Chain A
C-alpha cells in the first residue's frame, strides 16, 4: 500500500483505558464500512476491549479516560515511558471529562454516596496532561471516528495534525441547522471546538462543549449574551462544567 510512492508507516498502537466508560475505544471498532482498512493501517498490539493481543512495544499509545487513582498514575507513567507518541483519546483523557464533576464535591461524601459501606481509594480527577506530557489530544465524547481516521493517517505519514480551531457554529451552519437560540435553547456551539460536524444541534440538542473550548473563545462576551437571553448563570456553569473542558469560576 503505497501513497504517491511513499510507503506509509504501520505504527504499533496500544489502546489503554483509565477512568472512563470505554465508549471512545468502542468508536475505534465502529464505522464498520472502513474498519478493515482502518485496522490495516495500524498494528494493534494492546486493546483490552477488542483484542487478546498483549505486547508492550508500541509507537503510539491511545489513552482513554481520566486519572482518578494512585495506581492509574503509575500505570500512565509506565505507558508514557514506552510510547513514542502519547495521545489523550477522548474528553476524559483531555480534560477529565464528566468524571471531573466529582472534584466539585467532598470526596469522602462522594465516595460514600456511590459506594456506601464499601468505599474505594480515590483521588481528585485529573486529565492525562496534568500527569505526563501529551503529544496529541483528540477531544470528543465520544471521539469522532472519521477524525480519528484522519489523525491516524497523519501519524502514518509523520505529518502534523491540526484540530479545527474555530467553533462548532461553522459546522452547524454548514449543515443548515437552525440555530438553537432561534428555538430558545442554550447551546455552547459558539465557544466550543469544532471537528465533530455538529451532530447534537442537528439532532435538536444544544452543544455541551464536549470537545472543549475553541481556540481563543470569547467566553466573556458569550456569557453576557447567554445572560441577556434569560439563561441563568447556574444553568450555563453547569453546562460548561459538564465535560471539564472549560474553566468555570465557582
Chain B
C-alpha cells in the first residue's frame, strides 16, 4: 500500500474539490440524546464544516447507501394486452467521507456476498463502484469490539484512509482512484517521523479497546451450545423488533413485494430489508414457520453472523461496531451473549 501525508488545510481543499462535482455524504450531527451525547448520521453535506469527523458512531450504518432499506428493483407499465419492464442500475457518483474501519470492513464483507459467485447484484455493484470512500481512524469507544473480530484495520475496500496525526493526516491509498485524487492537492511523501507518529497512533488505538470478545473457536462453540438453555434466556428478552438488523452494517436479508399503482397502469418490484428476528422471516406457504420462537430466531441471527458466515467466507459477518447492542432496547449485545455462552461451556 502507498502512503502520503496531507496537511489539514489540504484535506479540506480535497473535500471542497469533491463537493464541487459530486454528492458528498459524511457524518453529520443531528442532535443530542438524553445523556447529552451527540447523535450522528451519514447524510449529504454541502460544506466541509458540516462534517463531524470526530464522531464516535452513527445511528445508522453507511450500508444504506449501498443496500437501501427500500429500493425498486424494476418497474412495469401495463397496457391492455402487454406490459413493459424497466430496470435501472445507473446511479450518480457519490463520495462518502469519514467512514470508520469497521464500516469499510462491513462493505468488504458485503462485497463477498453481492459481487462474487454466479449472481452478483448489479444494484449493489453500481452503487459500490460509483462511490468513492474516504475512511478515517478513530479512538475506539468503550463498547467497540472491532479489534476482536479483526475489523479495526482496513486493507481494502476504500479509496483513501486517513489517520489523524494532529498537524496532518497520514493517508493510506487504497485505489488508483484515490491515488489520482491526491494528485490534485499537495500530498507529501511520508518521512520517518510520519511513520513513527502513525505507528504510535496505531498502538494508542489498539491499547484503547475496553471491550474484548473471544471469537477463537466460536463456530465450534456455537455448534456445541446449539441446544443451550441460554438461547431461551436471551430469546425471552428479545422483542423481535428487528432494530439490530436495521442498524447492522452487514445484515443484508430482504423481502420482495409488488407495489401496483391504484390505476393498475404501473407497478414495481420493491426490495425491502428484513430481519431474521422478525416473526414472519421464515414464514412459508401453508403458514408454516421454521423459526416460530424468539429464541430460535435470535439464535440463528448469531449463528449466521458467527458460524454460517465463517463457514462460507472464513470470517464472521460482524464488524464489532456494537450498533445492534446500542439499538437493542433490552440490552442484547454480542459481547454479553458470546461471553455467556463461553461461561456456560466452562461450567
The reply on A166 being an interface residue by CB < 8 A is yes
Contact-size category for B: 35 or more
Chain B 249-289 near chain A by CB (<8 Å), digits 1 or 0:
00000000001111110000000111100111000000000
| Inter-chain residue pair count (beta carbon < 8 A) | 120
Query: Least Cβ distance of A233 to chain B in Å?
Result: 17
Docked-complex contact B263 and A174, CB < 8 angstroms: no
The reply on A41 being an interface residue by CB < 8 A is yes
Docked-complex contact A149 and B279, CB < 8 angstroms: no
Query: Least Cβ distance of B254 to chain A in Å?
Result: 11
Q: Within the assembled complex, what's the spacing in Å between the Cα atoms of A191 and B242?
A: 11
Binds B, one of A74-82, A217-225, A239-247: A217-225
Q: Which A residues between 199 and 220 are near B, CB-CB below 8 angstroms?
A: 214-218
Docked-complex contact B33 and A182, CB < 8 angstroms: yes
Chain B 125-166 near chain A by CB (<8 Å), digits 1 or 0:
000000000000000000000000000000000000000000
Majority DSSP secondary structure for residues of B touching A: loop
Chain B 315-347 near chain A by CB (<8 Å), digits 1 or 0:
000000000000101100000000000000000
**The residue from B237, B238, B263 contacting A40, defined by CB atoms under 8 A apart:** B263
Docked-complex contact B239 and A222, CB < 8 angstroms: yes
Inter-chain contacts of A167 with B (CB < 8 A): 239-242
The reply on B15 being an interface residue by CB < 8 A is no
Binds A, one of B77-85, B93-101, B206-214, B300-308: B77-85
Docked-complex contact B243 and A149, CB < 8 angstroms: no
Docked-complex contact B239 and A149, CB < 8 angstroms: no
Query: Number of A interface residues, CB 8 Å?
Result: 41
Docked-complex contact A173 and B260, CB < 8 angstroms: no
Which residue numbers of B lie inside 8 Å of A, CB to CB?
A: 30-31, 33-34, 39, 41, 59-60, 64, 69-70, 78, 80-81, 83, 236-243, 246-247, 259-264, 272-275, 278-280, 294, 327, 329-330
15 residue pairs A–B, Cβ–Cβ below 8 Å: A2-B80, A4-B83, A37-B261, A41-B262, A153-B264, A165-B278, A165-B279, A170-B243, A176-B59, A190-B243, A217-B239, A218-B239, A218-B240, A221-B238, A225-B239
